[in-house]
Amino acid sequence: MTVLNLAAVAIGGFFGAIIRYQLSKKLNTSKNIPYGTALVNLLGCLLVGFVFGLQLSTGLTFLLVSGLAGALTTFSTWLKEILGMSKVHEIGKAFLYLTASIVLGFAFVYIGFTGGSFFLG
Protein backbone atom coordinates (compact mmCIF):
# COMPACT_ATOMS: atom_id res chain seq x y z
CA MET A 1 0.00 0.00 0.00
CA THR A 2 1.67 3.18 -1.17
CA VAL A 3 0.63 6.81 -0.84
CA LEU A 4 0.13 6.85 -4.60
CA ASN A 5 -2.29 3.92 -4.37
CA LEU A 6 -4.27 5.72 -1.66
CA ALA A 7 -4.37 8.87 -3.80
CA ALA A 8 -5.80 6.75 -6.62
CA VAL A 9 -8.46 5.41 -4.23
CA ALA A 10 -9.33 8.97 -3.16
CA ILE A 11 -9.70 10.19 -6.76
CA GLY A 12 -11.87 7.21 -7.69
CA GLY A 13 -13.88 7.63 -4.48
CA PHE A 14 -14.48 11.32 -5.22
CA PHE A 15 -16.05 10.62 -8.61
CA GLY A 16 -17.83 7.43 -7.53
CA ALA A 17 -19.64 9.22 -4.69
CA ILE A 18 -20.65 12.14 -6.94
CA ILE A 19 -21.99 9.88 -9.70
CA ARG A 20 -24.00 7.91 -7.11
CA TYR A 21 -25.32 11.13 -5.55
CA GLN A 22 -26.47 12.50 -8.90
CA LEU A 23 -27.99 9.26 -10.19
CA SER A 24 -29.77 8.61 -6.88
CA LYS A 25 -31.25 12.10 -6.89
CA LYS A 26 -32.52 11.61 -10.44
CA LEU A 27 -33.69 8.00 -10.24
CA ASN A 28 -34.69 7.28 -6.64
CA THR A 29 -38.03 8.89 -7.32
CA SER A 30 -40.20 5.80 -7.68
CA LYS A 31 -42.32 4.76 -4.74
CA ASN A 32 -41.47 1.16 -5.57
CA ILE A 33 -37.81 0.37 -6.04
CA PRO A 34 -34.95 2.89 -5.62
CA TYR A 35 -33.73 2.49 -9.20
CA GLY A 36 -30.83 4.89 -8.70
CA THR A 37 -29.25 2.81 -5.94
CA ALA A 38 -30.00 -0.40 -7.84
CA LEU A 39 -28.35 0.99 -10.98
CA VAL A 40 -25.14 2.23 -9.31
CA ASN A 41 -24.74 -1.05 -7.43
CA LEU A 42 -25.03 -3.09 -10.62
CA LEU A 43 -22.81 -0.73 -12.63
CA GLY A 44 -20.15 -1.06 -9.93
CA CYS A 45 -20.34 -4.86 -10.06
CA LEU A 46 -19.94 -4.74 -13.85
CA LEU A 47 -16.91 -2.45 -13.54
CA VAL A 48 -15.19 -4.58 -10.89
CA GLY A 49 -15.69 -7.75 -12.94
CA PHE A 50 -14.39 -6.00 -16.05
CA VAL A 51 -11.26 -4.65 -14.32
CA PHE A 52 -10.34 -8.03 -12.83
CA GLY A 53 -11.09 -9.76 -16.15
CA LEU A 54 -8.74 -7.33 -17.89
CA GLN A 55 -6.07 -7.87 -15.21
CA LEU A 56 -5.21 -4.18 -15.00
CA SER A 57 -2.19 -2.88 -13.06
CA THR A 58 -2.27 -2.48 -9.27
CA GLY A 59 -2.55 1.30 -9.51
CA LEU A 60 -5.47 1.21 -11.92
CA THR A 61 -7.16 -1.48 -9.83
CA PHE A 62 -6.95 0.79 -6.77
CA LEU A 63 -8.38 3.67 -8.80
CA LEU A 64 -11.23 1.81 -10.48
CA VAL A 65 -12.09 -0.97 -8.00
CA SER A 66 -11.30 0.28 -4.47
CA GLY A 67 -11.99 3.90 -5.40
CA LEU A 68 -14.52 4.35 -8.19
CA ALA A 69 -16.62 1.16 -7.96
CA GLY A 70 -16.30 0.98 -4.17
CA ALA A 71 -17.71 4.48 -3.74
CA LEU A 72 -20.15 4.25 -6.65
CA THR A 73 -21.81 1.28 -4.96
CA THR A 74 -23.20 1.30 -1.46
CA PHE A 75 -24.14 -1.35 1.02
CA SER A 76 -25.43 0.89 3.82
CA THR A 77 -28.01 2.79 1.76
CA TRP A 78 -29.14 -0.45 0.14
CA LEU A 79 -29.92 -2.13 3.49
CA LYS A 80 -31.39 1.12 4.85
CA GLU A 81 -33.82 1.15 1.93
CA ILE A 82 -34.73 -2.50 2.51
CA LEU A 83 -35.37 -1.83 6.21
CA GLY A 84 -37.47 1.19 5.21
CA MET A 85 -39.66 -1.02 3.01
CA SER A 86 -40.17 -3.62 5.74
CA LYS A 87 -40.98 -0.83 8.22
CA VAL A 88 -44.02 0.09 6.19
CA HIS A 89 -44.95 -3.60 5.86
CA GLU A 90 -43.83 -3.98 2.27
CA ILE A 91 -42.04 -7.25 3.02
CA GLY A 92 -42.52 -8.68 -0.47
CA LYS A 93 -40.96 -5.64 -2.10
CA ALA A 94 -38.10 -5.63 0.42
CA PHE A 95 -37.39 -9.30 -0.27
CA LEU A 96 -37.53 -8.77 -4.04
CA TYR A 97 -35.15 -5.79 -3.91
CA LEU A 98 -32.77 -7.71 -1.60
CA THR A 99 -32.59 -10.93 -3.60
CA ALA A 100 -32.66 -9.26 -7.04
CA SER A 101 -29.74 -7.03 -6.07
CA ILE A 102 -27.66 -9.99 -4.89
CA VAL A 103 -28.42 -12.27 -7.84
CA LEU A 104 -28.04 -9.50 -10.46
CA GLY A 105 -24.88 -8.29 -8.69
CA PHE A 106 -23.26 -11.71 -9.24
CA ALA A 107 -24.52 -11.78 -12.83
CA PHE A 108 -23.00 -8.36 -13.55
CA VAL A 109 -19.67 -9.34 -11.97
CA TYR A 110 -19.68 -12.40 -14.22
CA ILE A 111 -20.63 -10.44 -17.35
CA GLY A 112 -17.95 -7.82 -16.59
CA PHE A 113 -15.33 -10.49 -15.91
CA THR A 114 -16.16 -12.38 -19.09
CA GLY A 115 -16.05 -9.15 -21.12
CA GLY A 116 -12.74 -8.11 -19.58
CA SER A 117 -11.18 -11.54 -20.17
CA PHE A 118 -12.38 -11.38 -23.77
CA PHE A 119 -10.59 -8.06 -24.36
CA LEU A 120 -7.48 -9.45 -22.69
CA GLY A 121 -7.52 -12.14 -25.38
Partner 1 sequence: MKTILAVGAAGAVGAVVRTLIGFVLPATNGFPTGTFIVNISGTFILCFLVERTLHLTLVNKTAYDAITVGFLGAFTTFSAFSYETFTLFESNLAMAIVYVLSSIVLGLFAGAFGFRLGGRGRTE
Interface residue list for partner 1 (CB under 8 A):
1, 6, 9-18, 20-22, 24, 41, 44-45, 47-49, 52, 62, 65-67, 69-80, 82-83, 87, 98, 101-102, 105-106, 108-110, 113
Largest CA distance in the chain: 50
CB of 100 to partner 1, least distance (A): 13
Closest CA to 97 of 35, 51, 54, 12: 35
Q: Consult the annotation and say whether 73 binds a ligand.
A: yes
3-state secondary structure of 90: coil
Report phi then psi at 74, rounded to 5: -145, 135
CB of 22 to partner 1, least distance (A): 7
| Residue ranges at the known binding site for Na(+) | 70, 73
